[in-house]
Amino acid sequence: MLDGVAGPVIAVISGLYPFTAGAGSSLAQLRVRILPVASWHSSAAAAAVSMESSSIVIALLSAGVVLSLGVNVYLVLFGSVVSVGEGEEEGSGAETAPKIKPERAPKPRPLTKLPRRLDSVPSAAVLPLTPASAAVVAGLETPMATGLKTPTTTGLKTPMATGLKTPMATDLKAPMAPDSECRSVEVCRVVLEAEGAQGLSDGEVAQLVAAGAIPAYALEKRVGDAVRAIRIRRGLVSAELAASALPFEHYDYSGVHGQCCENVVGVVPIPVGVAGPLVVDGEAVLVPMATTEGALVASTARGCKAISMSGGATTVLMKDGMTRGPCLQMPGVARAGALKAWLESDAGLAAVRAAFEATSRFAKLRSLKVALAGRLVFVRFTTFTGDAMGMNMISKGCEAGLAVICREFADCEVIAVSGNYCTDKKPAAINWIEGRGKSVAAEAVVAGDVVRRVLRTSVEDLCRLNISKNLVGSAMAGAMGGFNAHAANTLTAIYLATGQDPAQNVEASTCITLMEPANGGRDLRISCTMPSIEVGTVGGGTALGPQAACLDLLGCRGPSRAAPGAHAQRLARIICAAVMAGELSLCSALATGDLVRSHIALNRAAPPPTPANSLASTPSASAVDVRREAAAHGK
């Protein structure tokens, strides 16, 4: 964790452009309107600084490009990170929970008139920076205050490494150096005071940023026009960025600033495809997936078809509880034991619960799990968080609960509100065993005929493959929750499309896939059990227009007024069922040896047909292609 300034760091957030798309031949009659997505959380920058790298890795992966089913998605790119304080790790974000915008009533659009049983669920109890641009970015927070001269002369690669707060803004010559048309800094300052940024040219505003009169991170606020602010920031970072293909116009930034991303310099598109319809608990849904992995959507769609033709998936929500695990320290083990005993008593739990629940209309403290490591005390708060994924909500509640603990035990020291006993965005057995977020199981019985005709394999072969690969193979590899073929693929694509925190795929995609013969061996029973699906339909990236549109598609946009929590639970159920569809299809492809062939067909395909090449056929695979493909997909 860093307090104060962290230097130049690249983080990413996403957003998108709306397109209207017909969604593939089997869905052509549906004419689905999809607003693409791939979301990011403001915490990604903090995570980057604190070396919580998974957000950034995913962000950079997400910044790839395209497979187009007629829909484009955008990520937002930005520069440096400002003050990152205690408690902001792991996506918990700011202390103050962002205000939820007035929600539009969710408008589910079921494809069939089947009962919406899902709704009736009761709520459960770096970019390499040039020295000049790096300096600008590093100087974003407090340019010039010290008047320090060029850190580049120190030989440091980026000013960040020095920990200096205010490097070399005076040396900012390029790329947006004031041109001869710009008035002097002094005059511009006066104009800024008198008229605001409207009275200044872009070059003059940039000049004021370089002079420290406007913090670059506050450009949006001072300029009052997000697109103009971003254009100026891009110019400050580098001429290359300003002229780059990274888009930034025609995007609604109103839900970004102060909520999802800082120091925005653009948006990165990710294509969104749809798989389905998938019948889940009697209702057909179309599943939006943001991905650049060719074949993923098509494969999931095949699994959806097989499941839906066989009557659909049945899901069970076993548990709903987001967790936070603070770390406390007592003078010695005896006092640590006393604290544990008190927290496990009715009186202790009641006192902590009262304080915790006073912080939110929605937060309900379900349990406290206490573990000692010597005199360190870890307390895992498990909490119902309504339709929010819940990290902000639970962090606030934990702080209130910790205050009560410290009043009761004056010798108790809070080491961190997050003591990694949560566990957020890191592999940990505790999530696999106890669950985190929504614990869901999905099941389907796929007719033998469908296994043969749609999946082109047999019940016997699928069962043998599942045991050998997903159970024995994973056991041989020492897997923890990885008893599946590619749950992370399906889950992360839906996470990106619906504004979830994609870094949580670490634990959310833990899954055990089981297959066995049913009905005397004629049919296939498949299930996926996922104990830690962390999702929300309010907060974070879910409020961004395109992401919200994808939630709309699933009939779970925003808060559920009827039963708080029902929308987030519905999303978790759909994700688990979609993961099962992905498992079914990929395992079938593996059983028949189709995996490499289909990936080559869908990943190595020629560009979209144009009049000139519209007769182009699927390219044939060379031996090199085949080897590359096999290596690229570690499935």
Residues lying near ligand ADP in the complex (CB under 6 A): 97-98, 100, 360-362, 385-393, 536, 538-540, 559-560, 564
* DSSP result, 392-423: HHHHHHHHHHHHHHHHH-TT-EEEES--SSS-
Known catalytic residue at 516? no
Q: Angle between the 595-603 and 566-592 helix axes, to the nearest 10 degrees?
A: 110
Q: How far is the CB of 556 from ligand ADP (least distance, A)?
A: 11
What pairs with residue 371 in β-bridges? 378
H-helix segments, 147-243? 185-195, 202-210, 219-223, 226-237, 239-242
Q: Which of 319, 425, 438, 567 is catalytic?
A: 425
Q: Determine if residue 185 is left, alpha or beta; phi over 0 gives left, psi from -120 to 50 gives alpha, anything else beta.
A: alpha
Q: How far is the CB of 184 from ligand ADP (least distance, A)?
A: 44
Distance CA 418, CA 92 (A): 10
Q: What angle do CA 210, 212, 218 make, to 5 degrees?
A: 95
Q: Which of 281, 293, 523, 552 is catalytic?
A: 293
30, 286 Cβ separation under 8 angstroms = yes
Q: In this structure, what token pair is assigned to residue 328?
A: 């406390």
In the complex with ligand ADP, the residue whose CB is nearer, 358 or 373, is 358
143, 166 Cβ separation under 8 angstroms = yes
Distance CA 574, CA 275 (A): 12
In the complex with ligand ADP, the residue whose CB is nearer, 204 or 501, is 501
Known catalytic residue at 157? no
Q: Which of 171, 387, 443, 501 is catalytic?
A: 501
In the complex with ligand ADP, the residue whose CB is nearer, 237 or 491, is 491
In the complex with ligand ADP, the residue whose CB is nearer, 288 or 397, is 397
Q: How far is the CB of 156 from ligand ADP (least distance, A)?
A: 36
**Per-residue exposure over 332-343, b if at least 16 CB sit within 10 Å of its own CB, e if not:** eeebbeebbebb
569, 320 Cβ separation under 8 angstroms = yes
In the complex with ligand ADP, the residue whose CB is nearer, 261 or 388, is 388
Distance CA 211, CA 112 (A): 61
In the complex with ligand ADP, the residue whose CB is nearer, 357 or 387, is 387
Known catalytic residue at 425? yes
Q: How far is the CB of 327 from ligand ADP (least distance, A)?
A: 21
Q: How far is the CB of 390 from ligand ADP (least distance, A)?
A: 5
Q: Which amino acid is at 234?
A: R
Q: Which of 320, 594, 599, 629 is catalytic?
A: 599
In the complex with ligand ADP, the residue whose CB is nearer, 72 or 423, is 423
In the complex with ligand ADP, the residue whose CB is nearer, 85 or 609, is 85
558, 499 Cβ separation under 8 angstroms = no
Q: How far is the CB of 14 from ligand ADP (least distance, A)?
A: 17
Strands 19-20 and 376-384: unpaired
Q: How far is the CB of 321 from ligand ADP (least distance, A)?
A: 13
User: Any idea of the CA torsion for 218, 223, 229, 231, to the nearest 10 degrees?
Assistant: -150
In the complex with ligand ADP, the residue whose CB is nearer, 15 or 294, is 15
**3 state SS of 549:** helix
Q: How far is the CB of 594 from ligand ADP (least distance, A)?
A: 40
Known catalytic residue at 633? no
DSSP E strands, 106-260:
none
Distance CA 233, CA 216 (A): 7
Q: How far is the CB of 512 from ligand ADP (least distance, A)?
A: 26
200, 192 Cβ separation under 8 angstroms = yes
Q: How far is the CB of 323 from ligand ADP (least distance, A)?
A: 13
Distance CA 595, CA 20 (A): 31
Q: How far is the CB of 501 from ligand ADP (least distance, A)?
A: 8
DSSP E strands, 281-410:
283-290, 314-324, 327-329, 364-373, 376-384
DSSP state of 97: P
Q: Which amino acid is at 488?
A: A
Pick from 477, 506, 480, 479: which is nearest to 491 by CA? Answer: 506
**3 state SS of 203:** helix
Pick from 237, 223, 392, 248: which is nearest to 324 by CA? Answer: 392
In the complex with ligand ADP, the residue whose CB is nearer, 137 or 417, is 417
In the complex with ligand ADP, the residue whose CB is nearer, 99 or 113, is 99
What are the residues whose beta carbons fall under 8 Å from the beta carbon of 255, sequence distance 6 or more?
101, 543, 544, 545
DSSP E strands, 204-308:
264-267, 272-280, 283-290
What residues act catalytically? 293, 425, 501, 599
